[in-house]
Amino acid sequence: MTPVISLSRLVKNPWQQGDVYEGSEAGLGALLGLKALGITYNEVPPGKSGCPFHNHHVEDEIFVILEGDGEYRLGQHHHVVTAGDVLGAPAGGVDTAHQLINTGDQSLQYLVISSRAAVDIIEYPDSGKFMARSGPPDQPRVRLLGRHDDAPSYWEGEPGA
């Protein structure tokens, strides 16, 4: 644990998924010794997004734009964002689904700050998926991905049902 972190000295983990999703990120919460608050530094190149459109049923998130320009998708709305903007993504249903897209010509750099719930349900409205996630935030979690349209019935497979 350290009480002070320099963003310019962070070791970032680059990643890419397909043609749309790409970035580099570094987790800060654990480095700062935080238990109930997650903080991640993100850099997303022009034309890319750091995550699919999604909503959390339990966790709240805040995005703090440090550099660059983007579009913030929140529910049915699209907002132009730039350095100095703070974006809220409250827990809730699909009306709180959110995604940040780099629409500028330079790296979009931002912090994501979130509550760290032990259990959360995340929905992905564009793809019809959901994820149930459980376990301590600082340890490997149980994750279950599914689709709403192919979920078994409640009693399916139960003896005697």
Mean pLDDT of 89-93: 98
CA distance 140 to 161: 34
Q: Which pLDDT value is given to residue 54?
A: 98
Q: Which two tokens stand for residue 55?
A: 């909503």
Higher pLDDT, 30 or 51: 51
Mean pLDDT of 1-17: 94
Q: Which pLDDT value is given to residue 2?
A: 87
Nearest of 50, 123, 115 to residue 88 by alpha carbon: 115
Domains of the chain with CATH codes: 11-117 (2.60.120.10)
Query: What global pTM score does this model have?
Result: 0.92
- The three-class DSSP label of residue 115 is strand
Instruction: Supply the DSSP symbol for 10.
Output: -
Whether the pLDDT of residue 139 is over 80: the answer is no
